[in-house]
A and B are shown apart, each in its own frame.
Chain A
Amino acid sequence: MKKVILGDHAVSYGALLSRVQTIAAYPITPQTLIVERLSEMTANGELDAIFTKVESEHSAMASTVGSSAAGARAFTATSAQGLALMHEMLHWAAGARLPIVMANVNRAMAPGWTIWTDQNDSLSARDVGWMQVYCQNNQEVLDSIILGYKVSEQVDLPTMVILDAFVLSHTAEGVDIPDIKKVDEFLPPYKPEIKMDINDPRSFGALTSPDVYMEFRYKMQQAMDKAKKVIVEEGKKFGEMFGREYGLIEEYKTEDADTILIASATVASTARAVIDELREKGEKVGLVRIRVFRPFPTEEIIKVLEGRKKVVVIDRNISFGKTGIFFDEVKGAFYNSKGNKPPMFGYIAGLGGRDVTPKVIREIVEDALNKDKPESEIIWKGVKL
């Protein structure tokens, strides 16, 4: 069934179709529409789940951790300050190897107060052991919730499905809402091998000495490696069943491209139009959208970038004291590759929800096309000083 829905509601439908059993959430703009709709869904019986309206995001994640540990398919959603508040429990969810799925609406961090989009909230949670999926449209948001559970429940790590504040969260788009019976076929009920069970009592998360702690972390990294394969496999199966395939990265007109633009989320979807425009002018440019940021698609990126003349990365985020974070990671991925290393241009744009329009993206690419190599590690786009 095709419906015109907001990005936030695409999240709610994704949770509904995944038949989540527990929800614990705390309201924060621009995530509120997700939990409002889920409240309605649980209140009217559309969704058979227990919704705990907690008193903070920290408790939202702790509650979700508890429910997941008990063996339920657990869901929550947040944004920005809320994600920062639950940071400790993000570690807990991943370290306890719980296949939780959470939507995070990308919103810039305060101060100053802001509700508009950038990626510094989710990227501050880069190293907690969660998978991170950056979505480019509302359809992908809905599909990624379902896929999130499918992958997480195989690798025992949580998934964060990320959508841009307002650009997606509060924007209506046509979304195909799959039949729930078909989703049931794709995503069977959650049956963990180990859970909190009175018939098989264990202690979870007990004191680990230096003699054993490292092995637990090694296994988390192994799970991330496995996830790379599982994400691609399940993305293919999803494509076969629903007509929409998903992978780690998405390429657009890269085949003969000399210059590759790298972007994520809605900046990438906007960039597609710019690629078309520049192609018409005879520029051999292509686009790589990084969809999955954790696990990082190192090999895939090396493969697509090797031997190109230029690489341009747009970051809607910044690691203060370094560079844009995607830029940094792409460069890092490339360091040990054997082939030709193209010069890489790292642009920062769109922080705090400033629009990244086709014009902005075009100017960025043209700037890079006009230069042999970048003048600095960070190129700020549109700073008014």
Chain B
Amino acid sequence: MSKLTIPQEEIMSSGHLACQGCAGALAMRYMLKVFGKKTMLAVPACCWSVIDGPWPYSAVSVPLFHTAFETAAITASGLKAGLVAQGINDVNVVAWAGDGGTFDIGFQAISGAAERNDDILYVVYDNEAYMNTGIQRSSATPYGAWTTTTPANHPKDRPKKDLVEIIAAHRVPFVATASVAYPEDLIKKFEKAKNTKGFKLIHIFAPCPTGWKMAPELSIESARLAVQTRVFPVYEVENGVHYKLNINVKNPKPVGEYLKIQGRFRHLKEDDYKVIQENVDREWELLMRKVETFK
């Protein structure tokens, strides 16, 4: 395996407004390192609407267009069309959205852009709830989680929406999951996305210490445990049919190790852990079958 280097250049500056331990900020830093300055961003309502800074500041030294909640994908497509129409073909346009703007309100526009195979990268930094508005549940919130709209005595009772499968069903060139706890894999995926024409989507697992009710220093650890417990498998799908598991987890840890460090799961009992473990095992099994069948 060739040795991977992470580009030195910092295109995101340190004076941003993210909370301590924000994986969404870290993900942007990595993305910009790979994509470089020939990049434009479309950012809908999400934590990054704040993280980037109020007018007239910006924490990134690439053009950034703040847009409406449900329009990240199509604003990026529109930007790309506007550039190409002027003969500017060497600028990458990235839609950068949270899970609410992706799994919920922005879903239709993503499906449209994916179906048309618009030449953009869509990145969702998934912190599993509407964090910017104060921790309300989204359809990316996992089973059993507390949020301010799924209180502890009535936590979320449905599983997380399977975004990657839905996007893969559009038969787009590249869709992948990734984690800030595995930067080498993340960097490789950004590079692949940068060098692939058409619609790309990277679903980044992005812990939010504020919303998950845990210490900021547990951000990367929780992301790593999500992978090691198989809660969040790291894989990719090419052209909607070629599955590849990027991080194999041969000896998974029990899900409890991931759940117990987060306050949002504090109300869960042993029986709940069991239900979650069964769900995780079943989903992993399903994914492995796809990986083996559709190489």
Whether the pair B68, A52 counts as a contact (CB closer than 8 A) is: no
**Considering the chains assembled together, what is the distance between the CA atoms of A207 and B59 in angstroms?**
13
Identify which of residues 60-105 in chain B touch chain A, using a CB-to-CB cut-off of 8 Å.
60-68, 70-71, 74-86, 88, 91
Whether the pair A22, B78 counts as a contact (CB closer than 8 A) is: yes
Whether the pair A203, B79 counts as a contact (CB closer than 8 A) is: no
A50-76 vs B, Cβ < 8 Å mask (1 yes, 0 no): 101111101100111111111110100
B interface: dominant SS = mixed
Point out the residues of chain A lying under 8 angstroms from B53, CB to CB: 203, 206-207
Whether the pair B112, A54 counts as a contact (CB closer than 8 A) is: yes
- Min Cβ gap B36→A in Å is 9
Point out the residues of chain B lying under 8 angstroms from A71, CB to CB: 82-83, 86
Q: 6 A-B contacts, Cβ less than 8 Å apart?
A: A55-B115, A63-B77, A74-B78, A201-B37, A201-B64, A206-B56
Q: Which residue of B lies closest to A20 (CB)?
A: B85
Taking a contact as CB atoms closer than 8 A, the residue among A65, A198, A206 that contacts B40 in the complex is: A198
Whether the pair A208, B54 counts as a contact (CB closer than 8 A) is: yes
**Considering the chains assembled together, what is the distance between the CA atoms of A192 and B88 in angstroms?**
15
- Min Cβ gap A298→B in Å is 32
Is B239 in the interface zone, CB < 8 Å from A?
no
Whether the pair A206, B75 counts as a contact (CB closer than 8 A) is: no
- Min Cβ gap A201→B in Å is 5
- Min Cβ gap B164→A in Å is 20
Point out the residues of chain B lying under 8 angstroms from A52, CB to CB: 77-78, 81, 116, 118
Point out the residues of chain A lying under 8 angstroms from B65, CB to CB: 66, 69, 196, 203-205
Whether the pair A50, B84 counts as a contact (CB closer than 8 A) is: yes
Identify which of residues 302-359 in chain A touch chain B, using a CB-to-CB cut-off of 8 Å.
none
- Min Cβ gap B133→A in Å is 14
Taking a contact as CB atoms closer than 8 A, the residue among A21, A64, A70, A207 that contacts B49 in the complex is: A207
Q: Which residue of A lies closest to B61 (CB)?
A: A201
**Considering the chains assembled together, what is the distance between the CA atoms of A156 and B70 in angstroms?**
24
Is A1 in the interface zone, CB < 8 Å from B?
no
Residues of A within 8 A of B (CB): 21-22, 24, 49-50, 52-56, 58-59, 62-72, 74, 88-89, 92, 196-198, 200-209, 212
Whether the pair B82, A92 counts as a contact (CB closer than 8 A) is: no
Is B58 in the interface zone, CB < 8 Å from A?
yes
State whether A203 and B66 are in contact (beta carbons under 8 Å apart), knowing that A69-B79, A198-B91 are contacts in the complex.
yes
Contacts beyond the supplied A66-B78, A206-B55: 8 A-B pairs with Cβ under 8 Å: A62-B75, A66-B67, A66-B82, A67-B78, A69-B82, A203-B64, A206-B66, A207-B53
Q: Which residue of B lies closest to A51 (CB)?
A: B81
Taking a contact as CB atoms closer than 8 A, the residue among B55, B63, B108 that contacts A56 in the complex is: B108
- Min Cβ gap B4→A in Å is 26
Taking a contact as CB atoms closer than 8 A, the residue among A50, A54, A65, A212 that contacts B67 in the complex is: A65
Whether the pair B68, A70 counts as a contact (CB closer than 8 A) is: no
- Min Cβ gap B70→A in Å is 7
- Min Cβ gap B85→A in Å is 4
Taking a contact as CB atoms closer than 8 A, the residue among B54, B56, B74 that contacts A66 in the complex is: B74
Taking a contact as CB atoms closer than 8 A, the residue among A63, A88, A203 that contacts B81 in the complex is: A63
- Min Cβ gap A199→B in Å is 9
**Considering the chains assembled together, what is the distance between the CA atoms of A240 and B63 in angstroms?**
41
Whether the pair B78, A63 counts as a contact (CB closer than 8 A) is: yes
Whether the pair B82, A68 counts as a contact (CB closer than 8 A) is: yes
Point out the residues of chain B lying under 8 angstroms from A63, CB to CB: 74-75, 77-78, 81
Q: Which residue of A lies closest to B71 (CB)?
A: A62
Q: Which residue of B lies closest to A216 (CB)?
A: B55
- Min Cβ gap B28→A in Å is 13
State whether A55 and B66 are in contact (beta carbons under 8 Å apart), knowing that A62-B74, A72-B81, A198-B37 are contacts in the complex.
no
Is B210 in the interface zone, CB < 8 Å from A?
no
Q: Which residue of B lies closest to A53 (CB)?
A: B116
Point out the residues of chain A lying under 8 angstroms from B66, CB to CB: 203-206
Q: Which residue of A lies closest to B65 (CB)?
A: A204
**Considering the chains assembled together, what is the distance between the CA atoms of A200 and B84 in angstroms?**
18
Is B109 in the interface zone, CB < 8 Å from A?
yes
State whether A66 and B77 are in contact (beta carbons under 8 Å apart), knowing that A53-B116, A204-B66 are contacts in the complex.
yes
Point out the residues of chain A lying under 8 angstroms from B83, CB to CB: 70-72
**Considering the chains assembled together, what is the distance between the CA atoms of A202 and B74 in angstroms?**
20
Point out the residues of chain B lying under 8 angstroms from A68, CB to CB: 78, 82
Whether the pair B63, A198 counts as a contact (CB closer than 8 A) is: yes
Q: Which residue of B lies closest to A200 (CB)?
A: B63
Whether the pair A201, B63 counts as a contact (CB closer than 8 A) is: yes
State whether A67 and B79 are in contact (beta carbons under 8 Å apart), knowing that A50-B85, A196-B63, A207-B50 are contacts in the complex.
yes
State whether A24 and B58 are in contact (beta carbons under 8 Å apart), knowing that A62-B109, A203-B64 are contacts in the complex.
no
Q: Which residue of A lies closest to B56 (CB)?
A: A206
State whether A203 and B58 are in contact (beta carbons under 8 Å apart), knowing that A22-B78, A62-B109 are contacts in the complex.
yes
Point out the residues of chain A lying under 8 angstroms from B80, CB to CB: 66, 70
State whether A66 and B85 are in contact (beta carbons under 8 Å apart), knowing that A55-B112, A88-B68, A196-B40 are contacts in the complex.
no
Is B181 in the interface zone, CB < 8 Å from A?
no
Whether the pair B54, A70 counts as a contact (CB closer than 8 A) is: no
**Considering the chains assembled together, what is the distance between the CA atoms of A69 and B63 in angstroms?**
11
**Considering the chains assembled together, what is the distance between the CA atoms of A203 and B39 in angstroms?**
13
**Considering the chains assembled together, what is the distance between the CA atoms of A56 and B84 in angstroms?**
22
- Min Cβ gap B97→A in Å is 13
6 closest cross-chain pairs (CB), A and B: A66-B78, A70-B82, A67-B82, A55-B112, A63-B78, A205-B66
- Min Cβ gap A54→B in Å is 6
Taking a contact as CB atoms closer than 8 A, the residue among A72, A88, A207 that contacts B82 in the complex is: A72
